[in-house]
Structure 1
Amino acid sequence: MADAASPAPEQTPLNLLRPFLLLAYSTYYLPFVLLTLFKNGNYKPLLSFSDFKDVWFAHFWEWFGPRSREFAAPSVMPLLRNSARGVCLDIGPGSGEWLYLYARASNPSITKIYGVEPNPGFHAPLRTNASKAGLSQIYEVLGCGAEELRTKGGIQPGTIDTIVTVQCLCSIPTPERVIKELYPLLKPGGKWLVYEHVRTKFQGDFVGGWQRLVNIIWPHFFNGCDLCRPTEEWLLQAGPWDSVDLHAGKGEGKYDTVPHVIGTLTKAAA
């Protein structure tokens, strides 16, 4: 796995303030969510902070997701386009902003996609985006968590050709356990495609403490997203891999509070 790259020339300490711009976007959308709930007479989410955060994030991400996609596209497009094959697990797809990359025209080897999305607020737009991508016949939404795939999703070990995790392992509960449970589902030679937020490599610099400080409030605004998870380490420890090609986000360095790991892991042959 490649180490984090040195800061690119355009990197400045001002990058440390970027999380507050994203937090401001989420906060700005809050009144629209409340207005929608009252307009529809849907007061139930207001009785549970956890349920309310799910609704808040679903509405917010339906607006912000496509904008986030534009920012991440240069990294995610080469990763997903023509890389997924066979039976795929699309973990935490949200509203399906990346489904156009699975379109049959450019990915004819895909035979089935399971969209594992526990937040019911995303299911309608997810199915709509699957249809727009021409995937309605092969895309099936599983309304359960990744940790429930065997018990509720009916997914058996050794049946999956491709696992895709794009900005979802940062918010899944007990991610280390989930990663270990997902690994057996891959066939020998199966691929795991990754684009995830991770803990900064620069723990000895200011950004290490800054990231932990921002992370105190960040999960409440982004549906449980945790900025400080060593996700790439957990992936490497999940089981034997034939090959690992993981690297840091392009241009990311010691001033990035929301760094990424990108790449592919190929499961060892039996």
Structure 2
Amino acid sequence: MPNIEEPTGPFNLLRPLLLILYSAYYIIPTIIDLIINLKFGTLFSFSAFKDAWFARFWTWFGPRSVEYAGKSVIPLLNHNASGVCVDIGPGNGQWLGQFAKANNASITKIYGVEPNHDMHRELRQSAVKAGLGDIYEIIGCGAEELTTKGGIQPGSIDTIITVQCLCSIPTPQKVIKELYPILKPGGKWLMFEHIKTRYQDHFVAYWQVAVNLIWPQFFNGCDITRPTDEWVLQSGEWEEVNLKTGASEGPYDTVPHIIGTLTKKK
């Protein structure tokens, strides 16, 4: 995969199609595995099958995603998280190594909010491997249920972490508005997210909408056309905002990003 820092050209418009093909490749192995293990309930439930399929695909793709985005995400996560953290949509834990004590010594607790239970085993293993086994707790509900089923109280969180997850949440604006209150005054929100392209007068704006017609089916509900950065900014009052677009991302990038930190007003 191309390095995220490299400039892109017109051929980069085709990259989402390649990623869709990668995901589609794992449909057949997932079906075979479910049949061999007699998991017919999962096989004949569309939502359960999609979770199993995506978990299998992400086992392969997750490490490659880390390699691709690492130059942007690692500086964001290192030394910025502290206290009690909520890690939204951690998947199989591909970024957990960045929360190890050597990088974020002041972290006291991490709640990993992952609704896909097929990823929990690997997520737990990743937490233990990162030396976080004693402070990492998996919450198996959606982010929209964090204060009800998850038991997270308002004003109790020092750091919120969202890395390419708000694109997949069914009710993103509602969730974002619910996440803001759980953050303590002065708390930080660390963000690396897909966003709607800012090049609305270019071909990529129409191409992004077209790709998004099928993209969510292959990437666990991910919607690449959401103005997530705008929604987060509008969710409450911020003392400091340090957000920027992905390095070298321009009018040929169908899946652009926003990256940086927001500090809640004290």
TM surpasses 0.5: yes
Match 1:174 to one of 167, 171, 175: 171
Question: In structure 2, what residue type is equivalent to 1:34?
Answer: I
Q: Which residue of 1 aligns with 2:64?
A: 67
The alignment's TM-score, normalised by the length of structure 1, stands at 0.95
* Mapped contact 2:59–2:92 kept (Cα < 8 A): yes
* Mapped contact 2:168–2:221 kept (Cα < 8 A): yes
Cα distance in 2 for residues equivalent to 1:217 and 1:243: 37
Match 1:240 to one of 228, 237, 240: 237
Question: In structure 1, what residue type is equivalent to 2:160?
Answer: I
- SS of 1:76 mapped into structure 2: helix
Report the number of matched residues. Answer: 262
Q: Which residue of 1 aligns with 2:226?
A: 229
- SS of 2:26 mapped into structure 1: helix
Deviation at 1:11, TM superposition (A): 2.4
Question: CA deviation digits over 1:163-221, x for unaligned, max 9?
Answer: 00000000011101100000000000000000001100011211000000000000000
Aligned ranges 1:179-258 → 2 under 5 Å: 179-258=176-255
Aligned ranges 1:84-163 → 2 under 5 Å: 84-163=81-160
Aligned ranges 1:16-27 → 2 under 5 Å: 16-27=13-24
- The answer to whether structure 1 residue 165 and structure 2 residue 151 are counterparts is no
Question: In structure 2, what residue type is equivalent to 1:250?
Answer: A
- SS of 2:243 mapped into structure 1: strand
The alignment's TM-score, normalised by the length of structure 2, stands at 0.97
User: Unaligned 5+ residue runs, structure 2?
Assistant: none
The percent of aligned pairs where both chains have the same amino acid is 63
Cα distance in 1 for residues equivalent to 2:92 and 2:154: 27
Question: CA deviation digits over 1:109-167, x for unaligned, max 9?
Answer: 00000000000001000000000000000000000111111111110000000000000
Question: In structure 2, what residue type is equivalent to 1:151?
Answer: T
Question: CA deviation digits over 1:214-265, x for unaligned, max 9?
Answer: 0000000000000100000000000000010110000000000000000000
Match 2:77 to one of 61, 67, 80: 80
Question: Compared with structure 1, are the counterparts of its residues 23 and 267 closer, same or farther at alpha carbon in structure 2 (3 Å cutoff)?
Answer: same
* Mapped contact 2:7–2:249 kept (Cα < 8 A): no
Cα distance in 1 for residues equivalent to 2:6 and 2:194: 22
Q: Which residue of 2 aligns with 1:54?
A: 51
* Mapped contact 2:12–2:252 kept (Cα < 8 A): yes
- SS of 1:195 mapped into structure 2: strand
- SS of 1:188 mapped into structure 2: strand
* Mapped contact 2:85–2:160 kept (Cα < 8 A): yes
User: Unaligned 5+ residue runs, structure 1?
Assistant: 1-7
Match 1:35 to one of 32, 38, 47: 32
Deviation at 1:10, TM superposition (A): 3.5
* RMSD (Å), alpha carbons: 1.0
Deviation at 1:104, TM superposition (A): 1.3
Question: In structure 2, what residue type is equivalent to 1:13?
Answer: P
Cα distance in 1 for residues equivalent to 2:234 and 2:255: 23
